[in-house]
Structure 1
Amino acid sequence: MSNTRLPGWLSASREFLIPLLALLVLMAVWEASARLFAIPEYLLPSPSRIVEDMAAMGGQQLGEHMVATLRTVLFGFFLSIAVSFPLAVLISSSRLAADAIYPLLVLTQSVPKVAIAPILVVMLGPNEMPRVIVTFLVAFFPLVIAMTTGLLAVPSELIELARSCRASKLQELFRVRLPFSIPFIFSGLKSAIALSVVGAVVGEFVAAERGLGYLITSATAFFKVPVAFGAMLVLALLGIVLFQLIVVAERVFFPWAAAEERR
């Protein structure tokens, strides 16, 4: 009995079509429930009402809020990469450094970011820098852990082979440890980009003049609940798009690492 195979284009787009179909079903159930049970819009607005209010706000205004949040997310994300890589290399290369740095990393994560954000605003002023730092603090910890785990997960046989070929520490890092740790690094990058969106919104809740987080707080203050829901959905969409960009980058530049993760 022969197996029925899906067409190539359908098989390739399966990962996109199934979540999209599930989302459409969810929206349809949401819309029907809001209308059938006459749920007040200040409790749970229907998707059609959300779209209507967001359209009335204007694309230019919504775009300005999106760009402001996206800029904070990307600044914080790339800053987390710039700091996490040298920290991971230092931790993985020295037991003494690991013992000294790990408690400090845990300390940065034990303090709620909502408590840090107002202090940063007082120290640095009501500009974008406090929001970027909050985003960085939220995103960099899982990235450091993932990078360190990957650098330490290299089989000892590969390290011994590199050293028998008289490879320097730098060659060992870039030719052995880093290629082996690519799946770990991209796993950390995916977590970091998702958390960057959360960190940016936390910063905007505390002090911002624009951004999707600011839009949520200002809309709820004036009981414009559909607009707040719309901003929340845009945030979710932004997080999904950024996450998928990391996935695509991994599959394009490191297809073997993406195949390893799917096992």
Structure 2
Amino acid sequence: MMRVLRPVITLAGLLALWQIAFHVAGERAYLLPAPLDTLTTAIDRADRLAHHALITFGEILLGFGFGVALGMLSALVLVMWAPARRWLLPLLVISQAIPVFALAPLLVLWLGYGLSSKVVMAVLIIYFPVTTAFLDGLRRTDPAWLDMARVMGAGRGAMLWHIRLPAALPALASGLRVAAAVAPIGAVVGEWVGSSAGLGFLMLHANARMQIDVVFAALFLLAAFAVALYALVNALTRRMVPWQAESNA
């Protein structure tokens, strides 16, 4: 029962704070719309919001899928092949020093205003946390387990499949949760830089027209999707590592 009530109470508290902030700001809707006005706008423009939301959500899901797959593959290559680890790991770290906003215009220039540039942007955001988390898990396998496997005659492939991968799943689960939380950033940034549809495109044009209620409606759709994606990934990762019990200090 409390699991159901907790998000409801949290949402009600946020809405109350939002309403208070609206009154403190002098009830100026062009700066901060009231919650009820935002809800009314979302209902009145449901078709338009749904059209743009479906495009953005498709970009996010594709970026998440490709980013997770590429991140896991990269981690496996880095842990199994020492030259790749020595040469590519520093480049992986350096790549994170480049702001995503700096890459977005280049991706739009190279890949166009369509789906590709937004998906690649989302992949770039998701790739690093998945790769580093999974790589860390693979590298921190208990040496005693690996020594026992060698004594029993296991090869590298068998040790990877039966020991390293199961041991690295908790770390991978953490990386997937982070990736789910930041997944919308890449797609929306790409839409801001150059697109003809999507929630980022809608927010940009609504902001230029001082339609702040539309901006907030789009933001809440993005937030709701991010929370739903995180909850889904969290539930799946709990099933993925059922032997790892949570502990609360």
TM-score band (shorter)?
over 0.9
Residues 144-169 of structure 1: CA deviation (Å, up to 9, x unaligned): 00000100111101011111121121
Change in 2 beyond 3 A, CA 1:262/1:105: farther
Q: Which residue of structure 2 lines up, in the alignment, with residue 244 of structure 1? A: 231
1:193 aligns with 2:180: yes
Conserved 8 A contact 1:72-1:131: yes
Which consecutive residues of structure 1, in runs of 5 or more, have no partner in the other structure?
A: 1-9
CA shift, 1:37, in A, is 5.9
Conserved 8 A contact 2:76-2:135: yes
Aligned residue runs from structure 1 range 162-177, under 5 A: 162-177=149-164
Q: Which residue of structure 2 lines up, in the alignment, with residue 182 of structure 1? A: 169
For 2:138 and 2:190, the matched residues in 1 are separated by 32
CA shift, 1:96, in A, is 2.6
Aligned length: 249
Change in 2 beyond 3 A, CA 1:63/1:153: same
CA shift, 1:85, in A, is 1.5
Residues 36-80 of structure 1: CA deviation (Å, up to 9, x unaligned): 7632011111110111112111x2221111111111111111111
Aligned residue runs from structure 1 range 30-179, under 5 A: 30-35=18-23, 38-57=26-45, 59-179=46-166
The RMSD of aligned alpha carbons is 1.8
Change in 2 beyond 3 A, CA 1:143/1:261: farther
> Segments of 4+ in structure 1 off by > 6 A?
none
For 1:112 and 1:133, the matched residues in 2 are separated by 15
1:250 counterpart letter in structure 2: T
For 1:87 and 1:33, the matched residues in 2 are separated by 46
Return the TM-score normalized by structure 1: 0.89
CA shift, 1:229, in A, is 0.9
Q: Percent identity?
A: 32
Q: Which residue of structure 1 lines up, in the alignment, with residue 17 of structure 2? A: 29
1:18 aligns with 2:22: no
Conserved 8 A contact 1:135-1:197: yes
Return the TM-score normalized by structure 2: 0.93
The range that moved more, 126-135 or 33-42, is 33-42
Conserved 8 A contact 1:150-1:185: yes
Conserved 8 A contact 1:108-1:137: no
Residues 219-262 of structure 1: CA deviation (Å, up to 9, x unaligned): 101100011011111111110000000011122343223x2576
Q: Which residue of structure 2 lines up, in the alignment, with residue 7 of structure 1? A: none
Conserved 8 A contact 1:183-1:261: no
What secondary structure is seen at the aligned counterpart in 2 of 1:256? coil
